C-alpha cells in the first residue's frame, strides 16, 4: 500500500494548551524511512505532549478515510476506545503530513487495526437490535476526572511560562479538589516521565535529551523540574496515605437561639428588666448586674466575632479589660448606664470607687442582662 498517497489530507485538531509550547518543544516532527527508534520515540513524545487520545483516534479515522481504507473496519474503529489508538494515531498524523514511516511500521499498524476491529461486534451480531445506553465504568470515571485535573495542573505550568513565577500551591489545590489516591496515582504517572526527562537533561548524561531541551534556558529547566517534583512528591503522599485529602469541613455556625437556650439569668426584678440574651451573641460589650450581690460587670469582646455564650457562661471576652465592681447605690449608676452613650460608658467603672475584680463570665439566676453594644 502506498502510505504517502496524494489523497492524504490534514486532520484538524486543536493542540491542548501546554506549559511548553513549540518555542520550547519544537515544531511538529517528521520522520523518514531511515528514522530509528529514538527518532520515533521523540515524535511520539511530541504528540503525547500536545494532543489527547481522542485526537489520536480522530487522526486515525481521518487518515484511513483519506486513503479509502476498508469502510467496514473504519466504522468498527469508531467504537474502539481512544486510548487503544494512541500511537497508531500519531503514525497516521505523520503520514497525513507527508512523513514516510520506517519499513515494517505500516504492516504492524494494519495488524493492530484488524485485531481492534475484530473486537467490535457487527450490528447483526449484537444480541439486541436496539443500541444500548453506554455504561460508564468506575475506571472510566476515574480516568476522566484525572484527565480534567491534569489539565488544570498543565494550565498552571502555562502560567509559569507566561509570568516566569510559580505562585501555585499544590497542597492547597489538593485540599480544594479533594484528591483521592486513585487520582493522585494517575497524576504521578502522567508527570513523572517528563520530570525524569528534565532531570536527565539537566544532568547531561543523555545526548538526545540534551538536544531535545537545548532551547530551554537552564534556570527555566531547573524551576520546571522543581515544580514537577512538588506535584509528584505531594501526589505520592496522597497515594501512599490511602485516603483522600479533603478540604476541612467548615464548622456550622449555631444560631443565637441555640447558644443561649441553656442560659440561666434573671429575666426581671422590681425595677429592672433583662434584654433578650440573643443580643449578647456577636456584641462587642455587655453590662450585667447581680441584684443579690450588687456587683456590676462589664465584658469587652476580645475578637471581631464578638461575645458568645456557652451554657450559662459568657465567652470570648478580654479577661484583662472585663471587670466587676460592687455598687453602693445601684439606682444612681444603672439608670444613666442604660441611657448613656459610648463615651459615658467608658467612664462609669472609673468613677465607681469600690475595689475592682476580674469578671468571671458566669451568669446566674440573680443576674440582670442590662445592655450590649455592637
**Would you write out the chain's pLDDT as a tens digit for each of its 374 residues?**
444 443 333 333 434 434 344 555 677 889 999 988 888 888 888 888 778 888 888 899 989 999 999 998 898 888 888 888 888 999 999 999 999 999 889 998 998 898 888 888 764 444 444 455 556 677 778 777 888 888 888 778 777 766 666 778 888 888 888 888 888 888 888 888 888 888 888 888 777 777 777 777 777 778 888 888 888 998 888 877 765 445 566 677 888 888 888 888 999 888 889 999 999 999 989 999 998 999 999 998 887 888 999 888 999 898 888 999 998 888 888 888 888 888 888 888 888 888 999 988 899 999 999 899 88
Residues 145 and 240 in one domain: yes
Of 250, 270, 288, which residue sits at a domain end? 250
DSSP bridge pairs for 309? 314
Q: How far apart are CA 290 and CA 370, in angstroms?
A: 10
Task: Please give the pLDDT value at position 18.
Answer: 44
- Output DSSP code: residue 119: T
From 288, 234, 244, 293, select the one nearest 266 (Cα to Cα).
Answer: 288
Task: Please give the pLDDT value at position 20.
Answer: 42
Q: Is residue 131 part of a domain?
A: no
Helices (H) and strands (E) counted in the chain, each on its own, are 14, 7
Phi first, then psi: what are they for 255, rounded to 5°?
Answer: -65, 155
Q: Is residue 132 part of a domain?
A: no
Q: Is 301 exposed, middle or buried (0-12, 13-18, 19+ CB in 10 A)?
A: buried
Of 82, 107, 126, which residue sits at a domain end? 126
Q: How far apart are CA 11 and CA 50, in angstroms?
A: 14
Residues 214 and 280 in one domain: no
- Phi-psi category of residue 204: left, alpha or beta, with phi > 0 → left and psi -120 to 50 → alpha: left
Q: Rounded to the nearest 10 degrees, what angle do helices 218-241 and 138-163 cross at?
A: 150
Count of domains in the chain? 3
Residues 9 and 122 in one domain: yes
Q: How far apart are CA 172 and CA 168, in angstroms?
A: 9
Residues 201 and 105 in one domain: no
Q: How far apart are CA 160 and CA 220, in angstroms?
A: 9
Q: How far apart are CA 106 and CA 1, in angstroms?
A: 9
Task: Please give the pLDDT value at position 60.
Answer: 92
Q: Which residues contact 235 (CB under 8 A, 6 or more apart)?
A: 174, 179, 184, 185, 187, 188
State the greatest distance between any 2 C-alpha atoms of the chain, in Å, as a whole number.
Answer: 112
Of 106, 126, 146, which residue sits at a domain end? 126
Residues 267 and 245 in one domain: no
Residues 81 and 180 in one domain: no
Residues 298 and 340 in one domain: yes
Residues 1 and 114 in one domain: yes
Residues 310 and 238 in one domain: no
End-to-end CA distance of the chain: 86
Q: How far apart are CA 190 and CA 185, in angstroms?
A: 9
Task: Please give the pLDDT value at position 25.
Answer: 63
Question: Residue 64 in contact with residue 77, Cβ under 8 Å?
Answer: yes
Residue 88: all three cell numbers together: 497508531
Q: What's the alpha-carbon Rg for the chain, to the nearest Å?
A: 37
Q: Is residue 265 part of a domain?
A: yes
Task: Please give the pLDDT value at position 164.
Answer: 64
Residues 269 and 356 in one domain: yes
Task: Write down the residue that cell numbers 512528591 correspond to.
Answer: 233
Please count the other Cβ atoms lying within 10 Å of the Cβ belonging to residue 228. Answer: 21
Residues 200 and 218 in one domain: yes
The residue range of the domain holding 122 is 1-126
Residue 10: all three cell numbers together: 490534514
Task: Write down the residue that cell numbers 487520545 correspond to.
Answer: 53
Q: Is 54 exposed, middle or buried (0-12, 13-18, 19+ CB in 10 A)?
A: middle
Residues 208 and 145 in one domain: yes
Amino acid at each position: 500500500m502506498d502510505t504517502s498517497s496524494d489523497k492524504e489530507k490534514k486532520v484538524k485538531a486543536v493542540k491542548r494548551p501546554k506549559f511548553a509550547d513549540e518555542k520550547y518543544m519544537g515544531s511538529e516532527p517528521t520522520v523518514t524511512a531511515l528514522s530509528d527508534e529514538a527518532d520515533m520515540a521523540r515524535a511520539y513524545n511530541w504528540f503525547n505532549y500536545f494532543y489527547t487520545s481522542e485526537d489520536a483516534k480522530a487522526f486515525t479515522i481521518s487518515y484511513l478515510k483519506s486513503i479509502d481504507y476498508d469502510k467496514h473496519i473504519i466504522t468498527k474503529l469508531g467504537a474502539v476506545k481512544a486510548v487503544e489508538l494512541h500511537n497508531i494515531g500519531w503514525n497516521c498524523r505523520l503520514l497525513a503530513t507527508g512523513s514516510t514511516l520506517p519499513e515494517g511500521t505500516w504492516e504492524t499498524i494494519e495488524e493492530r487495526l484488524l485485531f481492534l476491529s475484530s473486537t467490535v461486534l457487527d450490528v447483526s451480531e449484537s444480541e439486541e437490535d436496539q443500541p444500548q445506553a453506554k455504561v460508564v465504568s468506575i475506571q472510566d470515571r476515574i480516568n476522566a476526572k484525572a484527565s480534567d485535573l491534569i489539565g488544570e495542573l498543565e494550565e498552571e505550568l502555562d502560567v509559569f511560562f507566561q509570568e516566569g513565577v510559580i505562585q501555585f500551591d499544590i497542597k492547597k489545590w489538593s485540599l480544594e479538589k479533594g484528591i483521592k489516591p486513585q487520582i493522585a496515582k494517575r497524576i504521578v504517572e502522567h508527570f513523572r516521565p517528563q520530570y525524569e526527562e528534565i532531570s536527565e537533561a539537566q544532568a547531561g548524561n543523555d545526548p538526545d535529551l540534551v538536544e531535545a531541551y537545548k532551547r530551554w534556558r537552564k534556570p527555566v529547566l531547573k524551576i520546571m523540574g522543581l515544580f514537577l517534583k512538588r506535584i509528584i512528591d505531594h501526589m505520592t503522599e496522597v497515594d501512599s496515605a490511602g485516603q483522600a485529602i479533603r478540604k476541612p469541613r467548615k464548622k456550622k455556625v449555631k444560631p443565637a437561639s441555640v447558644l443561649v437556650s441553656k442560659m440561666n439569668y434573671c429575666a426581671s426584678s422590681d425595677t429592672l428588666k433583662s434584654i433578650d440574651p440573643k443580643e449578647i451573641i456577636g456584641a462587642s460589650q455587655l453590662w450585667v448586674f447581680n441584684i443579690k450581690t450588687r456587683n456590676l460587670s462589664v465584658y469587652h469582646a476580645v475578637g471581631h466575632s464578638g461575645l458568645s455564650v456557652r451554657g450559662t457562661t459568657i465567652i470570648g471576652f478580654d479577661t484583662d479589660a472585663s471587670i466587676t465592681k460592687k455598687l453602693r447605690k445601684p439606682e444612681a449608676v444603672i439608670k444613666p448606664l442604660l441611657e448613656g452613650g459610648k463615651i459615658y460608658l467608658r467612664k462609669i467603672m472609673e468613677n465607681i470607687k469600690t475595689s475592682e475584680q476580674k469578671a468571671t463570665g458566669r451568669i446566674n439566676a440573680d443576674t440582670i442582662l442590662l445592655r450590649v453594644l455592637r
